[in-house]
Structure 1
Amino acid sequence: MNQNQNDKTLGVLPLAMFAVGTTLASGVFSLSGDFAAGGAYTLATLIGWAICGIGMFGLTMCFFKLSVVKKDLTSGIYTYARTGFGEYIGFNSAWGYWMSAILAQLAFITLFFETLSNYSGVFGNGTNLFSCVLASIIIWGLSLLVLRGVNQAVIVNVVIVIAKIVPILAVVAAIVLGGAFSWDVFTQNFAGTGEMSLLEQVKSTVYVTVWIFIGIEGAVVISGRGKTTKISGQATIISFASLFILYFLISFLSMGVLPAEELAALANPSLGGVLEYVVGPWGAALVHIALLISVGGAMFSYTILCVDSAFGPSAYGAFPELLSRKNKCGAPTWSVIASTLIIQFFIVVIYFNDATFQMCYALSTSAIMVPYVFSAFYYFKVVCKGEDKEIEGNSRFIPWLIAILGSVYGVWLLYASGLTYIFAMTILYAPGTIMYLYHRKKSGQKYFDNTRDMIICIILVLLAVIAVVLTAKGTIVWF
């Protein structure tokens, strides 16, 4: 995407705030209960955090290094996969990132209205008719706001991020200063009860840890709007360090307040139940308010991210040209409309399937794993070829370490996902192939640049067909 120089106005703070805004959303309020509900006890959770901390940091550093070494690749996720592995894989990376952002909106919607249902039965379980109608109005309203100018929306996001961080820090302070943390509770059934192996427990933490960090690359994705690409990478690292410390504190402290069995039984958002146990009913109310601010802000940020995730590939020629057309305010009109229409479609889907917050974010996480993995693989390829030597000089240890950490973590994510969510990925990705083939034909290009891409496409479609059949038989249940 060729950015006008006048668009390059954002510094480290606004970009870091954008990354935090797209990352610090619903996950921090539910992670303690979700870990426990997945079967992970204290030891497995700590191991999961160690893997996440090392692996996700490696992945984040891959984004940072690529933003410095490949300064011309200003649309991040898509351009990394495309440059490293060709048009079809690049397209799928872009499509997956777009779908992940859209599905994240669905997760935010379900949790937002489920939280409101604590105060009024009119919202039902968060996906009843009233909630879905109201969600539709909000989504279209946010889209109209973004149509007035994406940069203005990013700056406004700084205020929203500050408003939601303060209550979360208050939660940490209440647990620590209130003396509610108990070492006996923390070590109770430390390695589990024997119903699940330690490995299975650790694997169960993957979707939670990836979900809570989705958006960490946000500053790189909109790096074309930063003053420099290097600034975007720095913003990503700052946001990662801040978020990891906050997430770990919440998880660690919660495990010392209530045992795993009780954490697993807490209603969404589970952090509200933890704080209610510490300080009483007003604690739950405080968490609910913070969550509504946080998720409301995240829906705002993700409206921008959905649009950017369609606009960037279109500007580079991977998506139809229509999606890169801008209005008089400089906003990509059809990217906004297309993203909102797809979100609207999924709102209808969750209404008829009575979807849960956890299932929506699991699908969003499934969609983003491929873009993450290929970004790490591309940096590994860059290091192997020595394309970073002009920047890194003769120092090779750090680049190799980062490349290996990011790539190994990517493989771990795919392994830990399990067969069910591999099938979920194929159902999410296969429809994109229709747009890919249509666009290639309309632009007068060959459908596939090589035999490898054609084989990948055939395998993807076949797996998607199998997944649809298994879903129809009830073997696989998504919602």
Structure 2
Amino acid sequence: MTNSPDTKLSLWSLTALVVGSMIGAGIFSLPATFGRATGGFGAMIAWAIAGGGMLTLALVFQTLAQRKPDLDSGVFIYAKEGFGDYLGFASALGFWAGTCIGNVSYYVLIKSTLGAFFPIFGNGNTVPAVLAASVMLWGFHILLLRGVKGATSINTLVTFAKVIPIFCFVIVLIFAFKGDFFAASFWGTPDLAQSGDISRLNDYGYAGRAALAVTPVAEPESLFSQVRSTMLVTVFVFLGIEGASVYSRYARRRSHIGVATVMGFIGVLCLMILVTMLSYGILLRPDLAALRQPSMAGVLEAVVGRWGTVFISAGLIISVLGAYLSWSLLAAEVLFSAAKSQSMPGVFATKNSRGVPSAAVWLTNVTIQVFLILTLFSDYAFQLALEFTGSLTLIPYLLVGAYALKLAWTGETYETDWRGHKKDLAFAAIATFYALLMIYAGGLKYLLLSAIIYGPGTVLFILAKREQKAELFTATERILFIAVMIAAIAALWSLATGVITI
């Protein structure tokens, strides 16, 4: 893409870019994912926290695009500029690995969707499902090496496939919404049996009847625990929020970046809240939790019948297949950009005759294949991929927020223009705190699992440094590396002994 006037992006084009980047597989999974974690009130709190935190992060990306326009190599470059080579590498590695596992979630969700019609695919983590996903993976690999990128027609089709089923879903649920269903699960645990209204159990479906009849006086789960269980999910569904900032140099006006980011974010946030909250008015929380993924299909089927599942499933498959092309290229692009910035081995900066970073594509797809095989050993493969992706991506997001906080705190780039300094400082502080809060909410399990990626993955950093004949670690980086390796060993021991399960 060049910077000629004809190729400059308008405000609406940038807004569409943000929306298209954020709406992926995650939104189709929200009803069951939230149903397993919390009730209506907890969902409201979760979206309020996620909405506020991710909005400040979006504004941080916009600020950095204006303050540091020369840093256009990707999210990881902010970490490298602010905190040194090793954390820059770790940011690139985490973002790349998160993107790879996010792509695994696409395959699992596609096969789980097909499993509703072809039981052989189960929940997307059976041997036939993995074999079919592997064939698709290497088919896409061949296309990518030939230079097939997201054509305008494909992107348009994908956009409609994403948005039309979601809008139809929301409209149908608005008319079918039942206030008493919503109230019954509002505090997290349906309480009809506790209030003595046993006669109405038949109105709430098999899973709801079973849950209420078997545990009529169950100890309610704490609100804090409910909200905490949703945090990594909300991170996953907002991946791509930096879309407009990434392409800031193509905007007709710099002022459009912030406007597009906020407009796109608010629009997507509203859709996600509607999908989540309206579902509580269709099925009780136990019924939502029991749905197979994509759970939007099951909710719509409860209202309109079998064709609801077919409608949502078809839209999801087209959407995910189209989105997979761009996200696969994004994963390879992260490796390519990091190699160009000397944060990865130089081999990943090489391109084939069609201009594709072939070595990066190979490593990306081999990694996705490994994770696909690992889904065979997970009872909840999609949920694991979703939350693990969120956990890995939080480290790069944390370093972005911390870098913006460092700039505002020290006054760098503000020497000649202090306008907006206090606002930028506040947003950067909130974004950094939000990322830390999400890491805490994700729990020790995903932090340790992430260390398995960051620790052994450091071999790529070591190879890059040897190529440059540069000092391997600073004193601080050496301590950090040792700590990461200890965490990785602890994680492997925990997996082997069953302390951590996947």
Q: Would you call these one fold, judging by a TM-score over 0.5? A: yes
Moved more, 213-222 or 201-210: 213-222
- CA gap 1:30/1:392 in 2 versus in 1, 3 angstroms: farther
Q: Aligned residue for 1:251? A: 276
Q: Is this contact kept in 2: 1:76–1:221, CA < 8 A?
A: yes
Q: Aligned residue for 1:462? A: 486
Which amino acid in the other structure matches residue 414 of structure 1?
I
Which amino acid in the other structure matches residue 180 of structure 2?
D
- Indicate whether 1:452 and 2:451 are aligned: no
- Indicate whether 1:407 and 2:407 are aligned: no
Q: Is this contact kept in 2: 1:206–1:416, CA < 8 A?
A: yes
Measured after TM superposition, the shift of residue 221 of structure 1 is 4.4
- CA gap 1:311/1:154 in 2 versus in 1, 3 angstroms: farther
Measured after TM superposition, the shift of residue 355 of structure 1 is 5.5
TM-score by length of 2: 0.87
Identity %: 34
Write the deviation string for residues 333-382 of structure 1: whole angstroms up to 9, x where unpaired: 21112211211222222235566211111111111110011111111111
Distance 1:91 1:226 in 2: 29
Q: Which runs of 5 or more structure 2 residues have no equivalent in the other structure?
A: 190-218
1:263 aligned residue (288, 291, 299): 288
Q: Aligned residue for 2:20? A: 21
Q: Aligned residue for 1:277? A: 302
Write the deviation string for residues 294-327 of structure 1: whole angstroms up to 9, x where unpaired: 2222212211211111111111110111111123
Which amino acid in the other structure matches residue 346 of structure 1?
F
- Indicate whether 1:312 and 2:337 are aligned: yes
**Matched residue count:** 472
- CA gap 1:201/1:312 in 2 versus in 1, 3 angstroms: same
- CA gap 1:175/1:192 in 2 versus in 1, 3 angstroms: closer
- CA gap 1:384/1:88 in 2 versus in 1, 3 angstroms: same
Q: Aligned residue for 2:399? A: 374
Q: Aligned residue for 2:208? A: none
Which amino acid in the other structure matches residue 349 of structure 2?
S
Write the deviation string for residues 19-72 of structure 1: whole angstroms up to 9, x where unpaired: 43342122111112111212x111111000100110010111111111111101
- CA gap 1:334/1:369 in 2 versus in 1, 3 angstroms: same
Measured after TM superposition, the shift of residue 279 of structure 1 is 1.6
- CA gap 1:392/1:252 in 2 versus in 1, 3 angstroms: farther
Distance 2:460 2:475 in 1: 19
Distance 1:95 1:460 in 2: 13
- CA gap 1:353/1:89 in 2 versus in 1, 3 angstroms: same
- Indicate whether 1:345 and 2:370 are aligned: yes
Q: Highest Rg: 1 or 2?
A: 2
Measured after TM superposition, the shift of residue 188 of structure 1 is 1.8
Q: Aligned residue for 2:240? A: 215
1:86 aligned residue (84, 87, 90): 84
- Indicate whether 1:191 and 2:216 are aligned: no
Q: Aligned residue for 2:196? A: none
Measured after TM superposition, the shift of residue 158 of structure 1 is 3.9
Measured after TM superposition, the shift of residue 416 of structure 1 is 0.8
Q: Is this contact kept in 1: 2:120–2:128, CA < 8 A?
A: yes
Which amino acid in the other structure matches residue 306 of structure 1?
A
Q: Is this contact kept in 1: 2:86–2:477, CA < 8 A?
A: yes
- Indicate whether 1:239 and 2:254 are aligned: no
Write the deviation string for residues 222-259 of structure 1: whole angstroms up to 9, x where unpaired: 66777788766655444322211111111121122222
Q: Aligned residue for 1:51? A: 49
- CA gap 1:88/1:278 in 2 versus in 1, 3 angstroms: same
SS at match of 1:127: coil
- Indicate whether 1:141 and 2:128 are aligned: no
Moved more, 41-50 or 280-289: 280-289
Q: Which runs of 5 or more structure 1 residues have no equivalent in the other structure?
A: none
- CA gap 1:30/1:315 in 2 versus in 1, 3 angstroms: same
Q: Aligned residue for 1:159? A: 157
Q: Aligned residue for 1:33? A: 32
Which amino acid in the other structure matches residue 78 of structure 2?
Y
Which amino acid in the other structure matches residue 178 of structure 2?
S
Which amino acid in the other structure matches residue 333 of structure 1?
S
Q: Is this contact kept in 2: 1:75–1:224, CA < 8 A?
A: no
- CA gap 1:225/1:430 in 2 versus in 1, 3 angstroms: farther
- Indicate whether 1:303 and 2:337 are aligned: no
Q: Aligned residue for 1:63? A: 61
- CA gap 1:141/1:441 in 2 versus in 1, 3 angstroms: same
Which amino acid in the other structure matches residue 108 of structure 2?
T
SS at match of 2:498: coil
Distance 2:127 2:8 in 1: 40
- Indicate whether 1:476 and 2:500 are aligned: yes
Q: Is this contact kept in 2: 1:36–1:260, CA < 8 A?
A: yes
TM-score by length of 1: 0.91
Measured after TM superposition, the shift of residue 81 of structure 1 is 0.7
Which amino acid in the other structure matches residue 24 of structure 2?
A
